[in-house]
Each structure stands twice: as C-alpha cells, then as structure tokens.
Amino acid sequence: MATKDVPALAEAVERHTGADGDFETAVPGLWLYRSSTPSEEHAVVYVPSLCVVAQGAKEVVVGGDTYRYDPAQSLLVSVDMPALTRVADAAPGRPCLAARIPIDPAVVGELLADGTTHPPGPPTRGIGVIELESRLLDAVCRLLELLDTPHEIGAIAPLVLREITFRLLTGPEGARLRQIASAGAPAQRIARAIRWLRDHFAEPLSVEELAKHVGMSPSAFHLHFKSVTALSPLQYQKRLRLQEARRLMAAEGLDAGETAFRVGYESPSQFGREYLRMFGASPKRDVATLKAQPTA
C-alpha cells in the first residue's frame, strides 16, 4: 500500500464512524469498522469483498489457516466464507480502522465477458491476503470520499466499484475472482454450490446430489470444494448452521432446543455438542456472554 495515502484513508474511516462498532454506509454494501481494543475471535460469514485496514490489524482464521492484514496488506474474499475473525492490533489512542468493499460476481462476469482479463487458472482458495497497489488504493479512497457528497453516490459509486473490481481482476491475485465467474470452470461450479448451501443450509445435505446439481462427480466436487473453502461441504454446512443459530438466540431470544430444529438439527444434544466445539461454551452460556458485552 502506498503509505502516503494511508492517513487519508484512516481519517475518512474515523470521520464516518466516530465510535466503536460496525457502520453501514450510504454506498450499498460498503461497511466501516472501528475498534479501540483488540477483540476475541468471533464467527462471521464473509461475502465476496475487499477488506481494507487503514490503521491497526485484523486476523481471520479459515480452515486452520490464519490471514493477518494491516495497512500493508488487505483481504480479498471471492466466495461466501465462514470464518473466525478478531481485531489483532488496536488501542484507545490508535483504533483499528477498516472498510469492507463489496464485490459483485455479476460485475466480475461482465468484465470477463468483455475480454479485458485473463482466463482462470486452477481453483485456488477463495480468500487471501493481497497487496493494495496505488491505483487500487486510489479507487478505494475515492469510494470513501463519496460519503461526503451523498448526492453523487447513486451515479458515481457503481463506476468506482466497477473500477475496484477491474483492478482486482487484473492484479496479481485476480485468479481468485476470475475463477468464480468463468462459465464451466470448477471454481465457478463450486461458487454455485456455495450459494445453494447458503440458501438451504437447514435442509438435509446429500453431497452426491449437490455435486450432480452443479455438474461434477462427487470426488471432483469434494476436492474442488475444499480447495476453494478449506472445508468439506458438510463442515461448511455445519458452520453456517451454528452461526445462524448463534444469531437467532442472541438477536431473537430463541432457546437452544427451538433453535436447533430451526437450523436443521434433529437432535438438540448433538446441536449442543457441536456448538460447544465451535464456540467454546454451551449455547446458554455463550449467548449470555454475548448479551453482556457492551455495544457501540
């Protein structure tokens, strides 16, 4: 990242947050984040996006691999990805300041159809740490500057988001995006399977039927799914179920038994065991801890 632009980016995030927390902006899909202290790991599902840290550092864990990003590097996510994340570097006088910029797979497909990028290579992990080169950083800064002129967002933001996508596609890590929108490519089929799982995670899963649905053999499907997500299809489904269960109990006040059935478990006791393994506490205790945490 060009260091001369980092202070301006940090100042923009600070100005449009002002307090700790996650902040949805007037630019569709653009979120800003501020934290004055390091945090414990918590479970999230990343959507296709570019995650930029202007100050401090964050860490993301996927499939046992840890990705750390800070003002020198950023996180590129090309498919919906269950993960654990935490703020790794922050202090009251120097908070962690970050932005999450959406990536529209449809725009990726349009740019590929225009023939402006290279064809995809072999499937690669759908998440990775990248360098934020100067032209890409400039586009990110211009996107945040639009928050100061809300009347321009509707006309200008889609153009800047398209430029950001183009810069990512034509950059050194562009294969992570190219593979999800190239018709017939294995990773594009895996992306279709991931979308199906996101929409149907509470339903019984037949890996063989899902592989057939996206036109792959079960063995090739399993291999490529793990290459892209670092998880097996069943592990991926389980994480989606447990993260939705946590949200339901914390946000809607459901008890563990009702929640277990809502997210697809037939056995509340199995739900409790798997919840404990993932979050380190029973559902009741974990949700009580979440509710006791201060909010921004």
- With helix as H, strand as E and coil as C, how does 57-108 read? EEEEEECCEEEEECCCCEEEECCCEEEEEEEEECECCECEEEEEEECCHHHH
The angle formed by the CA atoms of residues 293, 238 and 34, to the nearest 5 degrees, is: 35
Give the pLDDT confidence score for residue 2 in this predicted structure.
Answer: 47
Q: Which helix (H) or strand (E) holds 19?
A: none
Pairwise CA distance, residues 32 & 65, whole Å: 25
Quick one: pLDDT at residue 1?
Answer: 46
pLDDT at 296: 41
Task: Read off the tokens for 296.
Answer: 């921004």
Whole-angstrom distance, CA of residue 27 vs CA of residue 44: 21
Residue 23 pairs with which residues in a beta bridge? 32
What domains appear along the chain, each with residue ranges and CATH number?
3-178 (2.60.120.10), 236-292 (1.10.10.60)
Which residue stretches of 172-232 are H helix?
175-181, 186-200, 207-213, 218-229
The sheet with strand 96-102 has its strands ordered as 21-24, 31-35, 96-102, 49-55, 74-77, 127-130
Quick one: tokens of 9?
Answer: 């980016």
- The conformation of residue 33, written as its DSSP 8-state character, comes to E
- Cβ(74)–Cβ(52) below 8 Å: yes
pLDDT in tens, the chain (296 residues): 444 588 899 999 999 998 999 999 999 999 999 999 999 888 889 999 999 999 999 999 998 899 999 998 899 999 899 999 999 999 999 999 999 999 998 898 888 877 655 555 566 788 999 988 899 999 999 999 999 999 999 999 999 999 999 999 988 888 888 877 766 678 788 888 999 999 999 999 999 999 999 999 999 999 999 988 989 999 999 999 999 999 899 888 899 999 999 999 999 999 999 999 988 899 999 988 877 765 44
Instruction: Supply the DSSP symbol for 117.
Output: S
Q: pTM higher than 0.85 for the full model?
A: no
